[in-house]
Structure 1
Amino acid sequence: MPFWQKRNILPHLNNIKPAVLTVGGWFDAEDLYGPLNIYKTIEKTSPGAKNTIIMGPWGHGDWAGEKGKSTHNHIYFGDSISTFYQKDIERNFFAFYLKDAGKNELPEAYMFDTGKKQWEKFEQWPPEHIPPVQLYFGQNGRLSVNKPLDEKAVFAYTSDPAKPVPYRSQTEGLTFTPRAFMSDDQREASRRPDVLTFETDTLADAVTIAGEILAKLKVAMSGTDGDFIVKLIDVYPNNHPNYEHNAKNIVMGGYQQLVRSEVFRGRFRNSFSNPEPFVPGQVTDVNVPLQDILHTFKKGHRIMIQVHSTWFPYIDRNPQKYVENIYKADEKDFIKS
């Protein structure tokens, strides 16, 4: 059994009896997968358990502290959000279940909408009353909401491992785990020829997306391996004011805020245990699951999708020529595709 399966806690979450409060941050670069899937697994395996999930506008562990102004990178979400969680959610949960004090009035899911910048309560996650949203690519960078466009349209770019797409909009020094990129500005990437960018018209009405996301790609390549980075982005109006904490070089008007992203190494498209190369020129399905969000794209904003194949140095470069172990790839294995 691979090491990553041996360390997986999810198969052990069966017949859960105690009340569970799972807390996570929408911008947790270290473990966004954990809280979401702990909650979902307990829902499946222990339907009678008191199972609650909280997701706030935090990075890893940020709910445990308080800075006054609740920000992530360039984005301001409100004041004292962690204090609200600690006093109104966490304290009440433990008082009720450990001290038999007070009332348990928590909803099943207490989730922060990162677009509206407010808390929402739901009796299940994902919520049933928020309809699913489908986004479609079109010619000339068009992105359509719930309306299919030309299914035969083809979009092309050349990915060069020697000129990778940076993962940040600003230079960032060596750090244990990069965090700021999770909500970073994507304007630099959207100008690159090796990034496919699709954008809606200015929204006449707000659009809320809640829950998991699946990007269904049909790809063909000249190489035999490739990565696929998919990004969901909120494009701010050009007249959006700066936040108080923004540095002088940050302009929030026209800001392209990363809402959710995922990287998928194409060789694992059919199995994480049995990688396989691509056949050059052959159209192949690559489904990229993106983790949950609760985000309202406001009226006057636009929705953007980006697709590309490098994101350096956050993600190591794929040679784009299939080799058994990319960490042992030679210089000649790194090719344009």
Structure 2
Amino acid sequence: MMAAGVISLLLAACTSAISHKTTSEQKDRRYTVDISMRDGVRLHTVILLPKEVSGGANHLPILLTRTIYGADDITGQMDDRSETSPFDGWGKRLVGGPYIRVLQDARGQNRSGGEFVVTGPLAHTADNHTSTDESTDAFDTIDWLIHHVAETDGQVGLIGTSYDGFTTLMGLIDAHPAVKVAVAVNPMVDGWRGDDWFHNGAFRQLLIPQIGADGKHADISLPTTVSEQARAFLQEGSAGAFGHHHGIDDVVFWREILAHPAYDSYWQARALDRVLAAHPPHVPLMLVHGLWDQEDLYGALAVWKALRPQGRRADTTFLTIGPWRHAQALEDGTAVGALRWGQDTAAWWREDVLTPFLAHYLKRTPMTVAPVTVFQSGSGQWLGLPDWPPATTTRPLYLLPEHRLGFTAGPGQTHTLEYRSDPAHPVPFMPDAGGVVSDETWLAADQRFVTGRNDVLTFSSDMLTHPLTVQGSPIAHLGASTSGTDADWVVKLIDAYPADSRPGSGVSGALMPVAMDIFRGRYRKSLEHPEPLRSDVLQSYRIVLPEVSHTFQPGHRIVVQIQSSWFPLYDRNPQRFVRNIFLAHPADYRVAHQRIAVGGPLESHVDLPVVSDGRAPSLYP
């Protein structure tokens, strides 16, 4: 039976359109309403009331998710009997509950009105309250909810994953006073630096089908194997030519990408870590990062770093770093790829960290959650830390002649190792044995599939005799040259497992990635103003790898791989400088000879942030 308070409130809302539900939907206590924003645009909203508010005897906080993934699709599985949906029991398994769960289609998405702008910039200002953005839409939605949902106690939490993590963070800018807490899981923050669309200037062309999926164009279907995908992209040439062939030239966001290949004002205005630093939120916030997040590896930690100078650490800003791929914190967390943890890490985090965190700020219950909760892969343990990264010592790991790695510098005289990079035969990003590409676990794929190639340099350390724990950002310092005038540099930090390590586990003898990323050489001096490289001249590159929390165990080796393509995940660098790689012609793609310094003044090395005693002191038992 529908709660009387909600009936009267919804019918009284002249600015909203109510969707009348079937008897079964009423039994499931699911209601929809279209809420008007300050400019008159209506946003489709689903309200889910748990049985605990039946009869109006109890008032509960609201947990709001503003989504691009379809509020109706997500909540269509929600009832108090479901055991399969991540949101089953109206969010009880996910976040402890009970809460009033509200999901809303973002502007221009699914059943909401208005125009959708991908990670749109902040539009409203202190002097302009009429312009709309995701911040004002969150404010207007919350204002309506606390005045029209009789069952709420007037407190609101924001929670969202991926793009919905972006809308969650936007909701903290000039936040509504009713917002008491927020959780952003794997949020999209900066689409050029390292989330989704680009990584340090290299374009993730496998996302083109998503860019074209706006309902107005034919679906772009990619083949299912790496080799078939590679052939499809090689046939078209540049990523721009691929998009043109598939008819997405009139997609607004695609045109914006083509027009802004560098880190110019377009991308900087959308860099949410910068925006939040300029508009620091006053709401307790938990940021959630996945060590093997194949989509948004940059955002959560970028926001953490942006807010740290604001003095928002121990009391109002929290961080979780888990051993997960994208969005895995909400699913089963026993493994990522072949890496198995011996526990459901995601379930532990939801029960022991997320649930008490939300309850503390929305229900005033006690909490013992540490400011930083981090999983240490390699040793398989959770740590509670007062800050991130912990105190570490920088230990340079040198690339040496004869493809060795060591903590002692190489010869004082310049030596180089060379490889041949051919755009017609790029290095694949995943092994291809004829099977279907995993778009979820490629970042944790065994890297043995590229060893032995003449376009990949592999360096290996001696076998470790003591544990080596690394926490923070490894920084690769390459001394490198190319015979061309542009080049990509892919750097991989890898844990080499011994051949007899856990036989049958999938990691015996494996080269398991710890941190990998790509850097487009033209941005060596400036991310905003690319320049051609000087042919055959060794130059220094500083490449910040994704942050890690990992212990290299005794009996293992450390491996570093260097290559100049990662295909077809990222678009190919022509290796000849052109103004816009999206517009490169077939004749622009040329073979280049790359050299890496393994001695001398520009000696290549990776600075490892090492925990001196092997383990940071933990606030958790």
TM-score by length of 2: 0.51
Counterpart CA distance in 2 for 1:328 and 1:100 is 56
Q: CA deviation at 1:243?
A: 5.3
- Which of 91, 103, 125 is 2:355 aligned to? 91
> Given the alignment of the two structures, is residue 166 of structure 1 paired with residue 432 of structure 2, yes or no?
no
1:180-219 to structure 2, matched below 5 A, reads 180-219=441-480
User: As a proportion of its length, which structure holds more helix?
Assistant: 2
Match of 1:107 among 370, 377, 389: 370
Give how far 1:241 is off: 2.2
Contact 1:235 1:254 in 2 (8 A): yes
Q: State which of 126, 135, 140 in structure 1 corresponds to 2:397.
A: 135
Offset from partner CA, 1:220-245 (integer Å, 9 cap, x none): 1111010000000000001012456x
Residue by residue, what CA displacement relative to the aligned partner does 1:256-297 show, whole Å, maximum 9, x if unpaired?
001110100000111111111011122211111112100100
Which residue of structure 1 aligns with residue 492 of structure 2?
231
Contact 1:16 1:46 in 2 (8 A): no
What does residue 120 of structure 1 align with? 383
Give, in angstroms, the shift of residue 174 of structure 1. 6.3
In 2, Cα distance between equivalents of 1:115 and 1:207? 10
Residues 269 and 275, structure 2, Cα contact 8 Å, conserved in 1: no
Whether contact under 8 Å (2:318, 2:371) holds in the other structure is: yes
| 2:457/2:562 contact within 8 Å kept | yes
Counterpart among 14, 19, 23 of residue 284 in structure 2: 19
The amino acid across from 1:168 in the alignment is M
Per-residue displacement from partner, 1:92-134 (whole Å, max 9, x unpaired)? Answer: 11111111112x2222211111111211121111101x43332
The residue number in structure 1 matching 2:578 is 323
Q: How far 1:301 sits from its partner (Å)?
A: 0.4
Work out which of the two has the higher radius of gyration on C-alpha atoms and give 1 or 2.
2
Structure 2: which 5+ residue stretches go unaligned? 1-263, 593-621
> 3-state DSSP class of the match of 2:419?
coil
Counterpart CA distance in 1 for 2:405 and 2:512 is 17
Task: Using the TM superposition, give the Cα deviation of residue 189 of structure 1 relative to its aligned residue in structure 2, in angstroms.
Answer: 1.3
Partners of 1:174 and 1:205 in 2: CA distance: 36
> What is the aligned residue count?
324
Q: Distance in 1 between matches of 2:444 and 2:425?
A: 23
Match of 1:332 among 559, 566, 587: 587
Superposed CA deviations along residues 38-89 of structure 1, whole A, max 9, x for unmatched, are 111111124465211001111111111236xx11111112222111111100
- Measured in 1, the distance between the counterparts of 2:521 and 2:422 equals 16
Shift of 1:23: 0.9
- Of residues 315, 331, 355 in structure 2, which corresponds to 1:65? 331
Counterpart in the other structure of 2:516: 261
CA contact (8 A) 1:211 1:292 kept: yes
For the 8 Å contact 1:15–1:46, the answer to whether it is kept is no
1:54 to 316, 320, 331: 320
Alignment correspondent of 2:419? 157
Contact 1:76 1:243 in 2 (8 A): no
- Residue from 536, 547, 558 that aligns with 1:281: 536
In 1: Cα distance, 2:590 partner to 2:373 partner:
47
- How well do the aligned residues superpose, as a CA RMSD in angstroms? 1.7
Q: Aligned equivalents of 1:289 and 1:190: distance in 2?
A: 23
Aligned to 1:314: 569
Where does residue 271 of structure 1 map in the other structure? 526
Task: Give the aligned partner of residue 131 of structure 2.
Answer: none
Aligned to 2:75: none
Residue 307 of structure 2 is aligned to residue 42 of structure 1: yes
Aligned to 2:273, which of 10, 24, 35? 10
SS across alignment from 1:197: strand
Deviation digits for residues 293-331 of structure 1, max 9, x if unmatched? 001000110000001101110111111011111122222
Instruction: Report the CA distance between 1:150 and its aligned residue.
Output: 2.1
- Any conservation in 1 of the 2:273–2:299 contact (CA below 8 Å)? no
SS in 1 for 2:416: coil
Residue identity in the other structure for 1:231: K
SS at the partner of 1:300? Answer: coil
SS at match of 1:29: coil
What is the deviation of 1:19? 1.5
Q: Secondary structure of the equivalent of 2:579?
A: coil
- 2:395 is paired with a residue whose SS is coil
- Return the alpha-carbon distance in structure 1 between the equivalents of residues 317 and 269 of structure 2: 25
Q: Distance in 1 between matches of 2:410 and 2:380?
A: 32
1:144 to 379, 396, 406: 406
SS class of match (2:355): helix
Question: Equivalents in 2 of 1:121, 1:191: separation in Å?
Answer: 41
- Aligned equivalent of 1:32: 297
Whole-angstrom distance in 1 between the partners of 2:380 and 2:423 = 38
Contact 2:522–2:533, Cα closer than 8 Å, also in 1: yes
- In structure 1, distance between residues paired with 2:280 and 2:532: 40
CA separation of 1:243 and 1:32: change in aligned 2, threshold 3 A = farther
Distance 1:233 1:12, change over 3 A: same
Unaligned 5+ residue runs, structure 1?
245-250
* Bigger relative contact order, structure 1 or 2 (CA pairs below 8 A, ≥6 apart): 1
Identical aligned residues as a percent:
32
Q: 1: distance between equivalents of 2:386 and 2:542?
A: 29
| More off after superposition, 312-321 vs 6-15 | 6-15
- How far 1:173 sits from its partner (Å)? 4.2
